[in-house]
């Protein structure tokens, strides 16, 4: 029998996004296991209000301060505390009202709240890969010091995590990160040069937020995931291999020192890794569609085309060199994707912006947190100037 004390109290940072809304579906299906205590968004006030009325959290935060009054008024008849602004987002991450943060904000904005949550001893379910790309060493060190688990939600990393359960003493030879290849798999530069926003947003296997959809189309997403894997699983660059697998059924694999390979498989549905992270170490029964091997006759594999999809090559360079270079890569990419989504630059221009920014911002081998914040700001300014944003 479940009692109130066995209910995990969840803070859902980025509740209005693709991961956030799917996490709420998982939570709604398991009211005896989870309660929602914190909901946050950037500016989607209507959805935040609707979610707050349904899940009755302790606190909601909207980063866009101009929306504060509307949210406050809409929830006036409830006990829900309403805060606004970036600082509030960071402060709420340290509050006592929850146990487990589901980090589902997109981009660099997720870093500080997640770091604060770790410092406050909260377990983390991490969707926000940019947090580890920007400051992986600092984030993982803080988690180690606080004995806080970081459970990946990114499907590839959830797969690797699942393959590693029961293997604590067995060193990894390498991990094989699978990649769908995105909507432009097999296309060459002469095609990509004309690609437009709406086409790039159409991912063949997953429905996701706009930023990660563009990152998947350029293969930057896989580059960010290589860096994410390095920090999560303490790997060297040469232990991380990318393999294009267009069906997205094998979510990733681990090869051990005896040559044996473990893989985690399933249909492409983010609710699965979200639920796994929320419930870990348990698995919860559900009625999500099942993979049927009789229908999965054609699982194919190929090497990624780094010559055409140069963003992946740039991310590999950042992974190799380390220091502040992944942080600079990430900042320039966020600006470039923002500009592409607003039709300000072309698909291939994104790579040029990132490459120039990586060459321009001074390299730091062992950055402090402040150095990362400075490198991020410098890279953003430089990239925005290039684009004339």
Q: How far is CA 208 from CA 17, 106, 257, 331, in A?
A: 8, 11, 35, 20
Residue with Cβ nearer ligand NDP (48 or 193): 48
Q: By CB under 6 A, which span of 74-82, 100-108, 169-177, 283-291 interacts with ligand NDP?
A: 100-108
132 vs 229: CA distance, rounded Å: 9
Residue 190, exposed/middle/buried by CB under 10 A (0-12, 13-18, 19+)? exposed
Residue 68 touches ligand NDP, criterion: CB under 6 A: no
Residues 137-156 that bind ligand NDP (CB under 6 A): 154
Site string for ligand NDP, 102-121 (x = CB under 6 A): --xxx--x------------
Residues 143-162 within binding reach of Mg ion (CB under 5 A): 154-156
Closest CB to ligand NDP: residue number? 17
For the bound state, the minimum distance from the C-beta of residue 212 to ligand NDP, rounded and expressed in Å, comes to 4
Question: Is residue 18 close enough to count as binding ligand NDP by CB under 6 A?
Answer: yes
Within 10 angstroms of residue 283's Cβ, the number of other Cβ atoms is: 11
Name the minimum Å distance from CB 181 to Mg ion: 13
278 binds ligand NDP (CB under 6 A): no
* 197/190 Cα distance (integer angstroms): 16
Q: Which of Mg ion, ligand NDP, none does residue 128 bind to, with CB < 5 to 8 Å depending on kind? A: ligand NDP
Q: Please, are residues 76 and 55 in contact by the beta-carbon 8 Å criterion? A: no
What is the per-residue binding string for Mg ion in 84-123, x denoting contact by CB under 5 A? ----------------------------------------
**Is 180 among the residues that bind ligand NDP (CB under 6 A)?**
no
- Answer for the pair 228, 150: CB distance below 8 angstroms, yes or no: no
Residue 290 burial (10 A CB sphere; 0-12, 13-18, 19+):
exposed
Q: Contact at 8 Å (CB) between 39 and 51? A: yes
Give the shortest CB-201-to-ligand NDP separation in angstroms: 11
Reading the block at residue 374, the tokens are 């400075």
Secondary structure letter of residue 201 according to DSSP: T
Q: How far is the CB of 129 from Mg ion (least distance, A)?
A: 8
Alpha-carbon span 241 to 88, nearest angstrom: 39
Contacts with 275 (C-beta within 8 Å, 6 or more apart), sequence order: 26, 284, 286
Choices 158-166, 204-212, 323-331, 381-389; region in contact with ligand NDP by CB under 6 A: 204-212
Angstrom CA distances, 378 to 220, 223, 331, stand at: 20, 21, 9
With CB cut-offs between 5 and 8 Å by kind, which of Mg ion, ligand NDP, none does residue 176 bind? none
Helices (H) and strands (E) in the chain, counts: 16, 11
CB proximity list for 184: less than 8 A, separation 6 or greater: 191, 192, 195, 200, 217
User: C-alpha 352: how far from its chain's center?
Assistant: 24
Q: Which of Mg ion, ligand NDP, none sits in contact with 17, Cβ below 5 to 8 A by type?
A: ligand NDP
Residue from 115, 176, 208, 232 binding ligand NDP (CB under 6 A): 208
Residue nearer to ligand NDP on the CB measure, 22 or 357: 22
Q: Which of 222, 244, 226 is nearest to 235 (CA)?
A: 226
Q: Which is nearer to Mg ion, 51 or 264 (CB)?
A: 264
Report the nearest approach of ligand NDP to the CB of residue 193 (Å): 26
The rounded distance, in Å, linking the Cα atoms of 361 and 233 is 28
Q: Provide, rounded to whole angstroms, the least separation between the CB of residue 2 and ligand NDP.
A: 29
Measured distance CA(354)–CA(285) in Å, rounded:
43
- Stretch of 186-194, 203-211, 254-262, 310-318 contacting ligand NDP, by CB under 6 A: 203-211
Q: Is 41 one of the binding residues for ligand NDP (CB under 6 A)?
A: yes
Q: Which does 106 bind (CB under 5 to 8 A by kind): Mg ion, ligand NDP, none?
A: ligand NDP
- In angstroms, give the least distance from the CB of 217 to ligand NDP: 13
What is the contact surface with ligand NDP in residues (CB under 6 A)? 14-20, 41-44, 63, 89, 104-106, 109, 127-130, 154, 206, 208-212, 270
What is the contact surface with Mg ion in residues (CB under 5 A)? 154-156
């Amino acid at each position: 029998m479940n009692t109130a004390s066995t209910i995990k109290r969840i803070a859902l940072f980025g509740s209005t996004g693709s991961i956030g809304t799917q996490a709420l579906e998982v939570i709604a299906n398991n009211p005896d296991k989870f309660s929602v205590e914190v909901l946050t968004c950037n500016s989607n006030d209507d959805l935040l209000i609707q979610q707050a009325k349904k899940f009755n959290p302790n606190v909601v935060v909207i980063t866009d301060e101009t929306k504060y009054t509307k949210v406050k008024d809409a929830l006036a008849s409830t006990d829900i505390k309403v805060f606004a602004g970036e600082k509030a987002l960071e402060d709420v991450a340290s509050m006592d009202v929850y146990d487990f943060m589901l980090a589902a904000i997109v981009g660099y904005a997720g870093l500080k709240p997640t770091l604060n949550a770790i410092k406050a001893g909260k377990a983390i379910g991490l969707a926000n890969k940019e947090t580890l790309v920007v400051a992986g060493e600092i984030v993982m060190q803080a988690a180690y010091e606080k004995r806080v688990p970081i459970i990946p939600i990114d499907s590839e990393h959830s797969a690797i995590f699942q393959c590693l359960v029961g293997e604590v003493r067995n060193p990894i030879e390498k991990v094989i990160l699978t990649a769908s290849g995105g909507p432009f798999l097999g296309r060459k530069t002469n095609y990509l040069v004309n690609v437009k926003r709406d086409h790039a947003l159409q991912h063949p296997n997953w429905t996701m937020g706009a930023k990660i959809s563009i990152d998947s189309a350029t293969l930057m997403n896989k580059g960010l995931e290589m860096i994410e894997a390095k920090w999560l699983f303490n790997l060297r660059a040469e232990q991380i291999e990318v393999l294009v697998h267009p069906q997205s059924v094998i979510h990733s694999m681990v090869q051990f020192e005896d040559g044996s390979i473990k893989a985690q498989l399933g249909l492409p549905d983010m609710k699965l890794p979200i639920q796994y992270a929320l419930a870990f170490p348990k698995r919860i029964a559900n009625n999500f569609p099942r993979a049927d091997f009789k229908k999965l006759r054609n699982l194919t594999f190929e090497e990624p085309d780094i010559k055409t999809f140069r963003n992946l090559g740039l991310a590999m360079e950042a992974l190799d060199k380390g220091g502040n270079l992944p942080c600079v890569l990430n900042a320039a990419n966020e600006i470039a994707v923002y500009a592409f989504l607003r039709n300000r630059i072309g698909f291939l221009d994104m790579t040029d912006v990132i490459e120039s920014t990586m060459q321009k911002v001074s390299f730091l081998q062992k950055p402090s947190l402040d150095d990362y914040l400075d490198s991020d700001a410098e890279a953003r300014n430089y990239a925005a100037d290039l684009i004339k944003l």
